[in-house]
Chain A
Amino acid sequence: MELWRYARQRLFQIGIIFFVILTILFILFRIAPGDPVSRMIGPEMTTEDAAHLISQLGLDRPLWVQYVYYVKNFFSGNFGHSFHYGRPVIEVIGDRLPNTMLLFTTSVMISALMGVFLGKIAAWRKGEKTDTVMTLLALVTHTVFLPWMALILIWIFGYRLGWFPINGMISEEVWLNPTSGFFAKSVDVAHHMILPLLTLSLIYFGSYLLIMRSAMLETLKEDYILTARAKGLTEKVIRNKHASPNAALPVVTSVGLSLAFSINGGALTETVFSWPGIGRELVFSVSNNDYPLAQAAFLLISAVVLVSNLVVDILYAYLDPRIRY
């Protein structure tokens, strides 16, 4: 039950943080130069539609009433109309969110697991060639400029070798074909996902590897490792059962701290690969001055970061009982 109380407490804190972000965005949209009404009402809307939307969003009311409407609308999912798509923002976002979540969660998990696994080996073989190569590789891939890495991978694997599609998430011939079943469609998505996933994992596994490596070296100095050795346990058992679970804890923390950072990378990757996600939608809406969509995309992304943070915190508390007291 300790864990439950901790989770509730974190949920409360995260709720407050989200509310602050919501408020900051409201203020920004009002203090920016230009007319706030024209920012939410598209130029191509009919007068009646516009009037309806204005009253729905409370744009004709005093500022504090607008704020109440804004918060209420947020929780009822009413973000206004997208200028570019000409349909409710919530629908556009609803289409994109699963795609982003798919890419984001898979890439975070793959890079964290890769980092833990390789970091463990590097620490175990400290000073040997394996360690040097892995540490160097981690340092180099970690510092490569992400969009450039994406372009290079597209150039090599998409263009030169032709192994993977260079953009998008699905191929029309598979999805429009009535005979292709769920399996064929999944394979198609996976095929499109490999390059974006490779980009993100290559960029992010390095920092996890370095953290895991130093945490593992730190753990190996602990007394209980000496005890395990004295008991005559095999090296493999000591490494995998005694040392690495404890050493992996800092990696979990670091995953939580770098979530905002990975979201930046996710938006860049989505844009380069034309992956239909929220990050790319945000970049697009900013170039198109599609304010309602930009606002909603930003809020949704912040919410994703916060919820993932919560998940990481709970996972951490579950793995390390010391944190709860």
Chain B
Amino acid sequence: MPSRKKKILEERSRRWRRMERWAQGWAIYKKNFLGRIGLVLLSIFVLMALASFIPPLVDPMYKPMSGVDPEITASTGPSFRHWLGTDFMGRDLFSQLLAGARVAFTVGIASAFVSIVLGTLIGMTAGYMGGWTDTLLMRTADIIMVMPTLLVVLILAALFGQLNIWSIVLIIALFRWPGVSRVIRAQTLTLKERPFIDAARVAGASHLRILFRHIMPNVLPLSFLYMTFRVTAAINIEAALAFLGFGDPGTVSWGMMLQWVWKTGYMFKAPYWLLPPGICISLITLSFYLLGRAMDEVLDPRLRKEGERY
């Protein structure tokens, strides 16, 4: 058989196997009721984030940050003109809520991605190299782990002045990799002892090749799982920061909305303003959390058998 044809066939069967694996994973995921709820909730939030571009196009007064209804000077309840009512300046709460979904996704996913990349690389290096590298990296992880992230960001805000949304994202990411790196390191340690790594080494593969070609594909699903939990952490920290008044003043996040309702004294008067942002933060956290738990079940066969054995 000509080798080109063989290659194409091989490639085809590999792709087939990969699809099969996804299908199997999905079959397990589908059985998890809470996981399905998580996915539905998450899709609603994605739709909200996408829809956030629409209201400002309808009328400039629906701009979440700068749009003000000229006829309104104080917070008003829901009406046909403003579905969720307006805030103290006459800005539309519904369009703020939609914009908040966009901010939450941006902050959550960007910061989770950076911390996962860091955590995976550091964990893999520590586990694979061992010795001094391992000790140094893991002790650093220990130190970062005991520092309360929210308070660290507060101190940095005090020293460096107002932080913009991207520096907040970066700081959260820099302080949230240790948990991931511990898990990845443990996984790498067990992988390292497996025969296929020895085989690769005997075949003359370099350390970098072994790390990225043989170990990384095996730890990536785990990293991906941890990403869902990091997303929730990042969203919550940003929201808490905004709530305390240290958020990026140029963005409308749900935490910011809660800060406005709290600080302007509308807390007891305007449930239409107090309830939606809090419910959104809580539900988006819940949905990522449920997603993570269901994915955990897909990745860890032990969890699946739980029901059968006892």
Contacts and interface: CB of A to CB of B under 8 A. Distances in A.
Interface in A141-156: 142-149, 151-152, 154-155
B113 interface: no
A298 to B, nearest CB: 5
Contacts of B142: 17
Contacts of A143: 232, 282, 285-286, 289
Contact of B245 (A220, A261, A287, A295): A287
Contact of A264 (B148, B155, B281): B148
B143 A155 contact: no
B150 interface: yes
B interface, over-half SS: helix
Contact of A146 (B151, B240, B289, B309): B240
A217 B308 CA distance: 12
Nearest to B289: A143
A268 B240 contact: yes
Given A145-B278, A145-B281, A264-B240, A32 B146 contact: no
A139 B290 contact: yes
A169 interface: no
B50 interface: no
A217 to B, nearest CB: 6
A260 interface: yes
Contacts of A5: none
Nearest to A259: B146
B236 interface: yes
A79 interface: no
Nearest to B159: A32
Which one of B154, B240, B262, B281 has the highest number of Cβ atoms from chain A below 10 Å of its Cβ? B154
B290 A291 contact: no
Contacts of B239: 145
B160 A33 contact: yes
Contacts of B237: 264
Contacts of B149: 260, 264
Given A221-B310, A294-B158, A151 B146 contact: no
Contacts of B246: 286
A291 B154 CA distance: 12
B258 A260 contact: no
Which one of B146, B239, B289 has the highest number of Cβ atoms from chain A below 10 Å of its Cβ? B146
Contact of B146 (A139, A283, A309): A309
Given A145-B239, A155-B267, A302 B154 contact: no
Contacts of A37: none
A282 B282 CA distance: 25
A217 B305 CA distance: 11
Contacts, number: 129
A306 B146 contact: yes
Contacts of A142: 289
A147 B286 contact: no
Contact of B147 (A127, A285, A287, A302): A302
B34 A139 contact: yes
A145 B285 contact: yes
B243 A260 contact: no
B34 A17 contact: no
B158 A285 contact: yes
Interface in A110-151: 126-127, 139-140, 142-149, 151
Nearest to A145: B281
A311 to B, nearest CB: 13
A309 B237 CA distance: 22
A315 interface: no
B146 A28 contact: no
Contacts of A147: 240, 243, 258, 262
Interface string A282-317: 110111010100110010011001100100000000
B114 interface: no
Contacts of B143: 17, 20-21
A146 B155 CA distance: 21
A129 to B, nearest CB: 15
Nearest to B307: A127
Given A151-B258, A220-B310, A268 B244 contact: yes
B268 A263 contact: no
Interface of B: 34, 142-143, 145-151, 154-161, 232, 236-237, 239-240, 243-246, 258, 262, 267-268, 271, 274, 277-278, 281-282, 285-286, 289-290, 306-307, 309-310
16 contacts: A21-B146, A152-B274, A154-B267, A259-B146, A260-B147, A264-B149, A264-B237, A264-B240, A267-B148, A267-B151, A268-B240, A286-B157, A294-B154, A294-B155, A305-B147, A309-B146
Interface of A: 17, 20-21, 25, 28-29, 32-33, 126-127, 139-140, 142-149, 151-152, 154-155, 159, 217, 220-221, 257, 259-261, 263-264, 267-268, 271-272, 279, 282-283, 285-287, 289, 291, 294-295, 298, 301-302, 305-306, 309
Q: Give the top 10 A-B pairs by smallest Cβ distance, nearest first.
A: A148-B278, A32-B159, A145-B281, A264-B150, A143-B286, A286-B158, A143-B285, A144-B282, A260-B148, A263-B148
Given A28-B156, A28-B159, A145-B240, 8 more contacts: A17-B143, A148-B281, A151-B258, A154-B267, A259-B146, A268-B240, A295-B155, A301-B148
